[in-house]
Amino acid sequence: MLRPIVTLAALGVAGIVVWKLLWGLLLPIVAVALGLVFTVLKLALVAFLVYVAYRLFQKVMNHRQAPS
C-alpha cells in the first residue's frame, strides 16, 4: 500500500532536485541573455537620441537660413 506513495514521493524529490540543478545552470545563461538585450536597447536608444538631435539641428539650421 505504501509502495506507490513512496515511489511518488521519490519522484517528486528527484524532480525538485533536477529542477533546482537545471535552474542553477540556466540562470547565468538567462542573465547574460538579458544583459545583451538591455545593452542592445541602450545602444538603440543612444542612436535614436543622436538621430533626433541631428534632425533638430538640421531643422534649426535650415529655418535660420530661409529668411535671408
**Grid cell at residue 60:** 534649426
The model scores a pTM over 0.85: no
Eight-state DSSP code of residue 67? T
DSSP 3-state of 3: helix
- Residue 65 pLDDT > 80: no
- Residue 68 pLDDT > 60: no
The per-residue pLDDT for range 6-17, each reduced to its tens digit, is 899 999 999 999
Written as one string, the DSSP assignment of 4-66 is HHHHHHHHHHHHHHHHHHHHHHHHHHHHHHHHHHHHHHHHHHHHHHHHHHHHHHHHHHHHHHT
